[in-house]
Structure 1
């Protein structure tokens, strides 16, 4: 059914902001580029370690550096900056936004696209537990260079920083975020300056920009190629953040920040590390910290730690946003969402997600105990997500941008080959730690698949027991029961059926309110729905009306706030004399159900731990009446 929309200009509901480009560029440095900006701490080092000391040291440095330079150029600059950032879903980015855009563009909304989206979202959450662990560990390990006697304090200090990072999440990041941009601007400046200075150690290192060095190195080290590629990929981890945070800053500030600050500074630092290692082969174990003079190492360790905390904060916030999207798209059960800012709706805190991430991050630090050990776990989730992004981008090129098959293939096929190569290289690290993100992603994927299937079964069972709304209204018009003063709002997910809460209310109370509103909340395929398109009101008779509220999948579905729009359509009610009726279902498993018995149990556990509709929709708890019933799935 297509619903006509109300046109409204309510300033209390709408939210539009505008900012200058320069502040957004600075903010993007702090949020978007935190992860990829801390890669110089370990990417070049791990790639050198992967050579196992075989071959010419100089050829290894030139070959690895050339691979890193062209990975940054092709994966980040060409793929993400040039193409992926243009595939926005009404200004929003990220795996689920791209999935929704691609799925809506094809008639029939094919299931395989949703499967890819779920897989990509699951892999992102797998990545989200590794980034804080490896980033903070790699920074704190600078102590081993500054004061080797304190090396045994690396893990305790890392755990302390991580604990503090997760504890402060509930207080919001608004105040801290104000310094993210300047700190990361300083970090990139230090990267560029220190790298530029050490290029003078061996200026010939600039020749590594020639891709021939990368090709020759791969050809001469076939046996090591997979291992080295897995380490080289660490230089581009964080590229997905460009797309995930598209809605926060817009494409232009992200692109400007990349070309003006991030890309040049990263290149200078990697070239500087290469030249430094050529001049000082004995410092290959810690080239980043080793290339700074003694007086600067302590400040550099402190700055690196701050940068890694910022990088971790960005991925944690991204996990909150991703889970909220998944909840609104009915891929995950409702969870409690706390807003930490009165002015920015995107600043949220989800306690259950925070606890989940904290437990896994601490476990990873205790298990691997070093960034080198964790590097084996890093990469599979990111490369898998990048591979999925390329496939969905091809769908968008063909069906949204209307590119011809040859043109789309000319762009996507080379990118797919590169993504596949990196994915294969990281899969080789599965026994050494790559199983970690795969395990987490598998758990999340199973939860999403169970929730989707369980909700579908539950909806089918409920629909079989429901009576068409029109039929109930016609019966009540013929034989009107007694009425009581006030307004009753009955929430239902089925727009056409009579709410179960209404049927049970009539059965037990045998009365109606003077005004009865059948309310359904639907989620649009767009991230935000304009205020003048949010609401549809249909009046059946003086007793009954139907209200359909449409939210975008990035919005917080606050019903009382949006009900103010209904007054413009003549709907008059006093919230203090209004009762919200909900049906609370107790789900029972069935051995002959549509899912395996164990999966029924999992779905029931997810449903029991889901947040209440009262909290999720922002309903006044003192005005909510819940009617319970049992359903067998």
Structure 2
């Protein structure tokens, strides 16, 4: 009965993504926006990645060959993981122009008549791990930039953590105003950041051109072979260079694939490589044993102060990107019924993707502040960084293989080859990061476990609630037929009864008949569905069906990236023949008061209690669906799970 958009993605998914991006401006402006929003995270990795790779290899970085080996590992990690996997393949797996773990999950599910549970499980796991990433990224990015003050003024060391806390509080405090205004400066500032990275890198490469030999993968392989005892921990540090790659896929819907590709190969990738090579050249020029933080020390003394300020701005921008991503991910999860409803505030009248979620913002801010106070340095935080991101990459790979096989129709040989290559790379990164679990890596794991548990509990609770409600309710067809034969007293106007169950009579309708013993002259059973596609065209959004002169059914289908605005959707129904006046229409909602039952085992009873609490804390349906408050009648019912 429900009409949904089901267009799939193909390897040539650029058409959809280009259409998604074209609404935001010209290609140069889009590309500049990509530099600021998409690449802010990975653009701050040079601050700590090479430094950490050197620090975890004591005694293994005193020769030219070993420095070349470390650099070669970073170069090829960036090339194979970001340039090849994400740019050439993952960004093509768009779901009608949208990206991210949940979009990829929806795309993979659409290739099955009945999607296997494990695909949903992977989507839940990937989304949960993103929250761990969203907590650590602002903490490590801002902290690592402010630590540059120690180079300018060593006596400022004790002020690094307080200054970081102030910046983070300010960052989260301005989220309520939206990113529309400040986004104008994001692109130019980050573009300047990358140009400065590349320029200082070139200066030191010219002084030590032999560093370019690190382009040869032989040095990476040789380092791993000759330093087998260090390879494990070194690869964990090398992985820091590719953190932020997941943002490429998440932000496709805002910019389109072409600007993302142009920005990567035209500016970001070259400047990152030049800076890493420049750091290596600087270390070999002055001697590894004298260098503490090559990223800051490679600058002349007069430039360190301004550069620390620029680095701080760049890390704030990088943090903004991942915070906004957490809002978007939560909005998708709510639409896909993975999380209870939360308050979603749209901060832009022209760009629907710009949202602010107070509960998510408060949760992230508190967790980021706790991380900064607990770890106190970016070096310590790097031990906690990586597990969540590497886990997301494995989930992305698994879902991508499903799409490659079932949607793109890849030949088995090519599929197995691709899977084998990246199973080794992504699996290797995950293993080396998992080894840090007792040194701080448990933090994102714990967050992912809690969020996954909440999502699973919410899904199971909704399923049990629907089953119980279906058993208790009267079939809609039976009620409609009986009321048509024996019509009760009718009153003027239209009554719209919201229900998620297509087959059963709405609880609000049954209680209305029981207590008021009247019907409106027009009664509409309204069901709101979410499509596996990010957006549904207006001509497919509303399905209307008249049962008789008393009853009709309307099914409204929103994409999971759309704002569920019922009045606007019902206005579309006029085009298909349904006439109604909002001022003579009442919306009837059933507000359930849930109580945990005493049946089942301890786990079942615990899940029921958690689900009941989540349901109580969910945002009001009237606000979530933008129904005029003066037109709503809520009928309370109590239900034991």
Whether 1:463 aligns to 2:480 is no
Give distance in 1, aligned partners of 2:4 and 2:264.
43
Deviates more, 1:360-369 or 1:575-584: 575-584
User: Which residue is equivalent to 2:12?
Assistant: none
Q: Normalised by the size of structure 1, how large is the TM-score?
A: 0.97
Whether 1:583 aligns to 2:612 is no
Whether 1:393 aligns to 2:364 is no
2:377 to 346, 365, 370: 370
1:267-416 aligned at under 5 Å gives the runs: 267-280=273-286, 281-416=288-423
Give distance in 2, aligned partners of 1:267 and 1:139.
20
Q: How far off is 1:467 after superposition?
A: 1.3
Change (3 A) 1:21 1:4: closer
1:45-444 aligned at under 5 Å gives the runs: 45-54=51-60, 56-280=62-286, 281-444=288-451
Give distance in 1, aligned partners of 2:469 and 2:591.
12
| Contact kept? 1:140, 1:305, Cα under 8 Å | yes
Q: How far off is 1:87 after superposition?
A: 0.5
Give distance in 1, aligned partners of 2:494 and 2:63.
79
| Contact kept? 1:25, 1:256, Cα under 8 Å | yes
Q: How far off is 1:201 after superposition?
A: 2.9
SS of aligned partner of 2:113:
coil
1:218-263 CA-partner distances (Å, limit 9, x unpaired): 1111111111000000000000000000111111000000000000
| Contact kept? 1:283, 1:290, Cα under 8 Å | no
Whether 1:517 aligns to 2:524 is yes
SS of aligned partner of 2:586:
strand
Deviates more, 1:583-592 or 1:315-324: 583-592
Give distance in 2, aligned partners of 1:534 and 1:110.
27
User: Which residue is equivalent to 1:11?
Assistant: none
1:493 to 500, 513, 535: 500
Give distance in 1, aligned partners of 2:607 and 2:83.
43
| Contact kept? 1:51, 1:228, Cα under 8 Å | yes
| Contact kept? 2:3, 2:557, Cα under 8 Å | no
SS of aligned partner of 1:401:
coil
2:624 to 616, 623, 627: 616
SS of aligned partner of 2:636:
strand
* TM-align CA RMSD: 1.4
User: Which residue is equivalent to 1:8?
Assistant: none
SS of aligned partner of 1:629:
strand
Change (3 A) 1:373 1:3: closer
Change (3 A) 1:194 1:103: same
Give distance in 1, aligned partners of 2:2 and 2:457.
30
Give distance in 2, aligned partners of 1:552 and 1:268.
42
SS of aligned partner of 2:182:
helix
Give distance in 2, aligned partners of 1:288 and 1:304.
11
User: Which residue is equivalent to 1:472?
Assistant: 479
Q: How far off is 1:283 after superposition?
A: 4.6
1:26 to 29, 32, 56: 32
| Contact kept? 2:21, 2:30, Cα under 8 Å | no
Q: Normalised by the size of structure 2, how large is the TM-score?
A: 0.96
| Contact kept? 1:377, 1:436, Cα under 8 Å | yes
Count of residues in correspondence between the two structures: 625
Give distance in 1, aligned partners of 2:81 and 2:61.
28
Change (3 A) 1:592 1:554: same
| Contact kept? 1:48, 1:60, Cα under 8 Å | no
User: Which residue is equivalent to 2:634?
Assistant: 626
1:259-304 CA-partner distances (Å, limit 9, x unpaired): 0000000000000000001112245311011011111111101110
Give distance in 2, aligned partners of 1:433 and 1:63.
27
1:544-602 CA-partner distances (Å, limit 9, x unpaired): 11000000011110001111111112222221221110001111111214852122111
SS of aligned partner of 1:584:
strand
User: Which residue is equivalent to 1:528?
Assistant: 535
Change (3 A) 1:55 1:245: closer
| Contact kept? 1:488, 1:517, Cα under 8 Å | yes
Change (3 A) 1:563 1:378: same
Give distance in 1, aligned partners of 2:203 and 2:222.
28
Gaps of 5+ in 1: 6-13
Give distance in 2, aligned partners of 1:508 and 1:283.
83
SS of aligned partner of 2:496:
strand
| Contact kept? 1:48, 1:284, Cα under 8 Å | no
| Contact kept? 2:22, 2:256, Cα under 8 Å | no
Give distance in 1, aligned partners of 2:4 and 2:403.
28
| Contact kept? 1:521, 1:551, Cα under 8 Å | yes
Change (3 A) 1:150 1:211: same
1:163-195 CA-partner distances (Å, limit 9, x unpaired): 000000011111000110000100000000011
